Amino acid sequence: MGRGVLVLAAAGLVKGSNCTGFPPMRPVLLAGGAQWVEPDTMGTCIADGNIITGVTYEGNAEFIRLFVKALGGHIISSERRILFFCGRKAGDVCATTVHDFEGDQTYSEKPGHNFILTANFETINATRYDALVVPGGRAPEYLALNEKVIALVKHFMGARKPVASICQGQQILAATGVLQGWKCTAHPTVRVNVVLSEVKWVEPDPIDSSITDGNLVTGAVWLGHPDFISQLMALLAVRVSF
């Protein structure tokens, strides 16, 4: 993926293979004997035998699909539509950040990967979606003030559709008043918000833990994404077999 093809070229593994990559990688791939495939988008990924190459993180989903297929795996699922909460409108760029723990009293914050939004809170039809994901970060404390956001959460919880919330995202869930009696974890900094909503608080120990209670998946920090995503996949009946 991206500049990672430099390693393949250095190892002499790309000769005769169709490859793509971040555009500046074209000369080195050609020099290594690869057949360069011009990417249509920054999300382009291709497979040629056991060689899988992609351009940027925008193609991560397709890259993983091709990688699983190359390993002999099968992704078993019907088509699913998942709604992600972000605080802007369709066509806007959503800026993301990466929170990390580097030994200070609180987390550091660095720029993440930006992406284009495709829906508006005001016009969205929740019945068209099979699940809801509530990301963490600094946005939830503001989104919790949006009545449309609150209504959407109530729809998904009331319909018992899968709802997955991580880190500070649980501030939104707490604001809806629908968490009473549910088992829930979250980032420790929002423990007060969550506990006051009368949940059955589960201490995040270890900090990267996630839990499932019925149709609700909650996690504490991004370090737990693999388990968090795995538990959401289980609710969506998405399976990977080999």
DSSP sequence for 132-171: EEE--SSSHHHHTT-HHHHHHHHHHHHTT--EEEEGGGHH
Q: Which two structure tokens, joined as six digits, stand for 165?
A: 């919330």
Strand-pairing partners, residue 134, are: 165
Nearest to 124 by CA among 85, 161, 78, 66: 85
* Mean pLDDT across the chain: 93
pTM: 0.84
Of 24, 40, 72, which closes a domain?
72
Q: Does residue 185 share a domain with residue 92?
A: yes
- The predicted pLDDT at position 196 comes to 95
User: Could you tell me which residues come within 8 angstroms of residue 64 by beta carbon, excluding any fewer than 6 positions away?
Assistant: none
- Burial (0-12, 13-18, 19+ Cβ within 10 Å), 116: exposed
Q: What is the number of domains present in the chain? A: 2
Q: Does residue 215 share a domain with residue 107?
A: yes
pLDDT in tens, 130-144: 999 999 988 899 999
Alpha-carbon span 194 to 70, nearest angstrom: 43
For residue 198, tell me if it sits in a domain. yes
pLDDT in tens, 171-199: 999 999 999 999 999 999 999 999 999 99
Query: Could you report the average pLDDT of every consecutive run of 10 residues in the chain (242 residues)?
Result: 94 96 96 96 95 94 94 89 87 84 84 86 92 93 94 96 97 93 95 94 95 98 94 94 89
Of 46, 72, 98, which closes a domain?
72
Alpha-carbon span 139 to 74, nearest angstrom: 36
For residue 77, tell me if it sits in a domain. no
Rg (CA), the chain: 21
Nearest to 22 by CA among 1, 49, 2, 52: 2
For residue 159, tell me if it sits in a domain. yes
Can you tell me which residue has the tokens 């729809």?
155
For residue 178, tell me if it sits in a domain. yes
Nearest to 59 by CA among 40, 75, 76: 40
Q: Does residue 148 share a domain with residue 59?
A: no
Domain of 47, in residue numbers:
2-72
Of 72, 95, 114, which closes a domain?
72
CATH number at residue 57: 3.40.50.880
For residue 102, tell me if it sits in a domain. yes
Q: Does residue 97 share a domain with residue 6?
A: no
- 172 with 216: CB under 8 angstroms? no
